[in-house]
Amino acid sequence: MGKKIIGLSFPENNNTLGLEPSILNVLPPGDNVEYSRTNKRFNDAEVEKYLCSVYIAGVDEFKHWAMQQDTRKIIVGGYHPTMFPEAFLNFADKIVIGPCDDLEATLSQKNILFERSHYDGEKVGNAKYVSGRILRTIPHDGNVRIHGEIKSITENPSGEAEIIKDRILPGVLSFKNTPRYDLYDLRNNQQVIPDKKVDDLATSVNSSFGCPYRCDFCCTPVMFGPSIIAKPLDAFSREINVLKDRLDAADNVNSKNKFMFFRDENFPLLKDYRKRLEIANETGAKLYLFASADRITADVADAFSDNNVYMVCLGLEDPTKDYPKNKKLKDAVDRLKKNDIYTYLSFIVDPTKLVGVSNSKVEKGKEFYKLLYERFEELKPEMVCGNFLMPFPGTPLWDDYYWMVSEKDFNHYDSKTPFLIKNELVAAKMRYFMFEVQWRYYNSDMYNNEVRRFDVSDTLHLRFLELKSQFDNMLGLLHLRP
Ligand code: SF4
């Protein structure tokens, strides 16, 4: 056995909430490969490479860790290295830009092309590296943005591949290898969802990457370009077989149900989505997935119902805005309800819009939550989930917010921290009010009589009891005004 290849995720993945880390997709075959849930210090002499996936909230943690290791052995990728590769040059030997699952092919690139390649040979990428800065096209208006500034695209005059600094490589998706699920114990996974008991098993799968929609807050088009990249069916099927085996092996007397989450951004966009559901249904797991409301046709709802889809996550997003994808949100929810499929509505709170008093002399926060609650009453989702706005560098929204975000805010990109608000008392109240609207909804007569019972000791109910006890300690703050 050769020296070790170690996969790591930043921030560290050692808590119990979450699903399989994405670095498993990149880890190569071999007995010398391992995944570490803790980002401890390793003995460099025993290690050939460290493969690190870094999310925006893990940048500081990664830099701190990397400074203790032999940085010539570190290869780093993920959203933040894609956006700011130059920030990693002192901490890693190679920086991978964009999505990647084939490290061997990525590292063997002799010429680095302007465009990333993927499994069927079409060019979908949009990353260029010019004069030490990464340029990325943002599809909503065709302009190029460099960390929020708009520049025009400079075409390579020769039209040929350009050799870029060898330490920065566009990633390659080939779907040749099955993700290394064997290196990870899926009993570490935990999800806060309706009907899942603590001991029930949960796993996840990616059938495609990217989304052609252009929601202004979303970093998916920045990472993947404007196209959707589907795994070939045989690769997907292989992966499902591995997951099925792992679910069966982890099964025990305490687990009654199995759950599987499709990580795809918008699953019904795939032409063969029905086939993929049929394959996934062979695991016996209850399936849940993301979709945009405009894709929930009667056929789609039927296919979901036929294949054990128990919940669909639809983005309500910011309830004060109109999104083209949500024009028929009510129809989509009704269709799912008709098929006994739960709806999970996520919503976004822009905390900067909740401070101050509106023209009608009502506090803006009150107006916002009144409107949001009315949407809950109208749509009656089985699950709701609030996220504070996190403006991502490179998205159209970034231009409006970049001046409010400093580097230390990156540590708080967890969607539960209103870091755009600098006053700590106001920020604490913002967190409370987001919790309160959900708690009130779940405990309402309407939810319990017309939607489903809340107090069933599933992970959703238990998590909200935990939050309730945390927020009870904050009640004294509510009447304070800075
Ligand atoms: S539909 Fe979803 S994944 Fe696609 S751009 Fe909008 S928020 Fe992002």
pLDDT tens sequence across 412-438: 999 999 999 999 999 999 999 999 999
Q: Looking at the predicted structure, is the pLDDT value of residue 148 above 70?
A: no
Instruction: Say what percent of the chain tops pLDDT 90.
Output: 65
Give dist(CA 21, CA 4) in Å, integer.
Answer: 19
Q: Looking at the predicted structure, is the pLDDT value of residue 50 above 50?
A: yes
The pLDDT confidence band at residue 286, using thresholds 50, 70 and 90, is very high
pLDDT higher for 116 or 235? 235
Mean pLDDT of 262-278: 94
Give dist(CA 395, CA 115) in Å, integer.
Answer: 19
Q: How remote is the CA of residue 34 from the centroid of ligand 1, in Å?
A: 33
- Shortest-distance atom of ligand 1 to CA 221: 5
Mean pLDDT of 192-210: 94
| pLDDT at residue 89, rounded to an integer | 81
Mean pLDDT of 334-357: 96
Mean pLDDT of 152-162: 36
| pLDDT at residue 122, rounded to an integer | 32
| pLDDT at residue 345, rounded to an integer | 97
| pLDDT at residue 76, rounded to an integer | 94
Mean pLDDT of 23-34: 96
Q: Report pTM.
A: 0.86
Within a 13 Å sphere around the CA of 187, how many CA atoms are in the beta-carbon half? 8
For the segment 295-313, what is each residue's pLDDT rounded down to a tens digit? Answer: 999 999 999 999 999 999 9
Q: What tokens does 77 get?
A: 């990728």
Mean pLDDT of 5-28: 89
Other beta carbons within 10 angstroms of residue 111's beta carbon come to 9
Q: How remote is the CA of residue 265 from the centroid of ligand 1, in Å?
A: 7
The pLDDT confidence band at residue 13, using thresholds 50, 70 and 90, is confident
For a substitution probing ligand 1, which of 208, 213, 229, 348 has the most ligand atoms within 8 Å of its CB? 213
| Nearest alpha carbon, ligand 1 atom 1 | 213
Instruction: Say what percent of the chain tops pLDDT 70.
Output: 87
| Nearest alpha carbon, ligand 1 atom 3 | 265
- Which H or E run includes 349? strand 342-349
Structural contact between residues 257 and 274, judged by C-beta atoms closer than 8 angstroms: no
Q: What tokens does 285 get?
A: 């797991």
Q: Looking at the predicted structure, is the pLDDT value of residue 118 above 60?
A: no
Q: What tokens does 336 get?
A: 């799912």
Give dist(CA 10, CA 65) in Å, integer.
Answer: 10
Q: How remote is the CA of residue 423 from the centroid of ligand 1, in Å?
A: 31
Mean pLDDT of 439-465: 98
**337 forms bridges with which residues in the sheet?**
none
| Nearest alpha carbon, ligand 1 atom 8 | 218
* Average pLDDT, rounded, for the chain: 85
Give dist(CA 79, CA 394) in Å, integer.
Answer: 10
The pLDDT confidence band at residue 167, using thresholds 50, 70 and 90, is low
Helices 233-250 and 273-281: angle between axes, nearest 10 degrees: 20
Structural contact between residues 482 and 411, judged by C-beta atoms closer than 8 angstroms: no
The CB of 215 under 6 Å from ligand 1? The reply is yes
Mean pLDDT of 63-90: 90
Distance from chain centroid for Cα 130: 28
Q: Looking at the predicted structure, is the pLDDT value of residue 55 above 90?
A: yes
The CB of 220 under 6 Å from ligand 1? The reply is yes
Give dist(CA 57, CA 38) in Å, integer.
Answer: 16
Least confident of 158-162, 171-175, 234-238, 287-291: 158-162
Q: Looking at the predicted structure, is the pLDDT value of residue 213 above 90?
A: no
The pLDDT confidence band at residue 238, using thresholds 50, 70 and 90, is very high
Q: Looking at the predicted structure, is the pLDDT value of residue 24 above 90?
A: yes
| pLDDT at residue 222, rounded to an integer | 76
Q: Looking at the predicted structure, is the pLDDT value of residue 363 above 60?
A: yes
For a substitution probing ligand 1, which of 140, 206, 215 has the most ligand atoms within 8 Å of its CB? 215
| Nearest alpha carbon, ligand 1 atom 6 | 215
Tokens 């305490």, residue located: 254
Residue type, 181: Y
Least confident of 146-150, 164-168, 315-319: 146-150
pLDDT higher for 269 or 146? 269
pLDDT higher for 313 or 160? 313
Which domains does the chain show, CATH number per domain? 4-170 (no CATH), 181-477 (3.80.30.20)
Give dist(CA 222, CA 139) in Å, integer.
Answer: 9
Mean pLDDT of 163-176: 68
Q: Exposed, middle or buried, 45 (CB in 10 Å: 0-12/13-18/19+)? A: exposed
Least confident of 94-103, 148-157, 163-172: 148-157
Query: DSSP H helical segments within 208-363, as ranges?
Result: 220-224, 233-250, 273-281, 298-306, 329-338
Least confident of 143-157, 181-195, 426-440, 447-461: 143-157
What is the torsional sign of CA 322, 326, 328, 334?
negative
Give dist(CA 311, CA 105) in Å, integer.
Answer: 37
The CB of 213 under 6 Å from ligand 1? The reply is yes
Q: How remote is the CA of residue 325 from the centroid of ligand 1, in Å?
A: 9
